[in-house]
Amino acid sequence: MQNALNWQAENGVIALSGDLDRETLLPFWQARQQAIGTDIATIDVSGLSRVDSAGLAMLVHLLDEGEARKQPLQLTGITEKLQMLASLYNLQQIIQPYLVSTPTMV
């Protein structure tokens, strides 16, 4: 059973929780520019219980959008499972510069 994707912005951090997958990401995708305004600097993914390849692609796209706006975002709370997924898609070098207080990805 899927957990809806939820998000909450506070003190420059947008915290994602629930499942981030192709079935749940559309509402956030549509609201992303409003949800990640100029005051958001960090995306906290520690509350995510599941992330699939579509969810990972969305995270990478969000990081890229931040760079394009000249407001780089950081990722915090990346889990071992999410690290493994990034590794499977050979995205470690792309994600690594955005990580906050996370061990080096394998």
Tokens coding 106: 């394998």
Instruction: Kindly state whether residue 75 falls inside one of the protein's structural domains.
Output: yes
Closest CA to 94 of 71, 70, 62: 62
Contact 16, 45 (CB under 8 A): yes
Residue 58 tokens, joined: 């969305």
- Does any domain span residue 106? no
In a domain, 1, yes or no: no
Residue 25 forms part of a structural domain: yes
Instruction: Kindly report, residue by residue over 25-48, the tens digit of the pLDDT.
Output: 999 999 998 999 889 999 999 999
Task: Indicate whether 88 belongs to any domain.
Answer: yes
pLDDT tens series, the chain, 106 aa: 568 999 999 999 999 999 999 999 999 999 998 999 889 999 999 999 999 999 999 999 999 999 999 999 999 999 999 999 999 999 999 999 999 864 444 4
Domain range enclosing 93: 6-98
> The domain that contains 36 carries what CATH number?
3.30.750.24
Indicate whether 103 belongs to any domain: no
Sheet bearing 6-10, strands edge to edge: 6-10, 13-20, 42-51, 74-76
Q: What are the φ and ψ backbone dihedral angles of 93, each rounded to 5 degrees?
A: -70, -25
Cβ proximity of 7 and 26 under 8 Å: no
**pLDDT score recorded for residue 102:** 47
85 belongs to a structural domain: yes
In a domain, 76, yes or no: yes
Split into its structural domains, the chain has a count of 1
